[in-house]
Amino acid sequence: NAGVMQNPRHLVRRRGQEARLRCSPMKGHSHVYWYRQLPEEGLKFMVYLQKENIIDESGMPKERFSAEFPKEGPSILRIQQVVRGDSAAYFCASSPRRDSGEQYFGPGTRLTVT
Amino acid sequence: AQKVTQAQTEISVVEKEDVTLDCVYETRDTTYYLFWYKQPPSGELVFLIRRNSFDEQNEISGRYSWNFQKSTSSFNFTITASQVVDSAVYFCALKLLILTGGGNKLTFGTGTQLKVEL
């Protein structure tokens, strides 16, 4: 029973390029959460999605960031025109139900913007 | 809004010492979950414990123990007889039980870096 998968594990982008981060939830989980961890900081919530729906995007920056969780395939966090300040670890978590207490985390994607 | 405070930025201990990591939380809701996660140098997040607000029983798991006190809004974590492998960043987190609005996100503290030396 595979856990939450994230790829790539490491991603290097030049300023102005696009970054696409993928998250495959655990089998049977239809709820996905994205968190960002800036260097030397704790994790901050970005967005919560259920299949084909964005439920809560209160933590998403208003520009350049978007997320989707299509009916088929992984959830995608997309960052357009990356800047140095986007360099961080991006973690995805999944849960089987909306009222599930626990969120299962993936290994994270470390984005470096040069 | 919820808030989790981990006032200890970094703690250094010598192996076999006991160490307590503090966590204080703020919420106006009466039903919530509290968590501890470990982040070793490799970077992944390792789940350690979940406690719901109805259950104030302390818990022990091997060398780990947790002290939950609603009266002081604290959920402290103690490692007994620390080992070098315990060196990591430890995060405390809060999640509300409500299903609407911000009820599904985890609110993390800023973490405590624990260094266990020989």
pLDDT digits (tens, 9 = 90+) for B7-39: 999 999 999 999 999 999 999 988 899 999 999
Segments in chain A below pLDDT 70? 1, 99-100
B94 contacts B28 by C-beta, under 8 angstroms: no
Query: Residue B100: what pLDDT?
Result: 60
- CA A28 from centre of chain: 18
- Subunit contact B105:A59, Cβ cutoff 8 A: yes
A52 CB neighbour count, 10 Å cutoff:
11
For B43, which of A58, A99, A108 is closest by C-beta distance? Answer: A108
Pick the residue of B45, B91, B112 with the most A CBs within 10 A to test the interface with A by mutation: B45
CA B5/CA A1 separation, integer angstroms: 35
Q: Which residues pair with B116 in a beta bridge?
A: B13
Task: For residue range B70-110, list pLDDT tens digits in order.
Answer: 999 999 999 999 999 999 999 999 998 876 655 678 999 99
Residue-wise pLDDT for A95-110, tens only, equals 988 766 788 999 999 9
Angle, alpha carbons B36-B52-B66 (nearest 5°): 45
Q: Can you give the pLDDT at residue B103?
A: 62
pLDDT of residue A102: 80
| Confidence at residue B96, expressed as pLDDT on a 0 to 100 scale | 87
First to last CA, chain B: 41
Test B105 with A104 for CB contact under 8 angstroms: no
Task: State the DSSP code for B71.
Answer: G
